[in-house]
Amino acid sequence: MATKEKKNFVLMKEGKDTGIVFANAQPRGAALKAANRGETEIRLRERGTKRVHVFEGNRIQVQAPTKRPKWLPDTVWKAVVKKVGVEHL
């Protein structure tokens, strides 16, 4: 079983790169990581290309699974993202 190669996505704020980089095979996975940190307007520049993936994200509190470890609280945060589009630099 071959694993997909990971790409690096740089989080952009106000049209400029930040120092925050997410590694994932797909831009949606990187956007979920950003949303889990509390970002709502997510713009991810894919390194090595001129593409910027734009997402809307938030996180909601949901009930933890019934078969959870004892250290996990009753409610956990779940990230939700929706792709708005792709921009080209």
pLDDT at 64: 94
Q: Which residues of the chain have pLDDT under 50?
A: none
In a domain, 2, yes or no: no
Alpha-helical runs (H) found in the chain: 27-36
> Quick one: pLDDT at residue 3?
78
Q: What angle do CA 28, 20, 61 make, to 5 degrees?
A: 55
Supply the DSSP symbol for 72: S
Number of separate domains in the chain:
1
The pLDDT of residue 2: 64
Query: First vs last Cα of the chain: how many Å apart?
Result: 35
Residue 1 lies in a domain: no
pLDDT digits (tens, 9 = 90+) for 54-67: 999 999 999 999 99
Look up the domain containing 47 and give its range.
Answer: 7-88
pLDDT at 1: 62
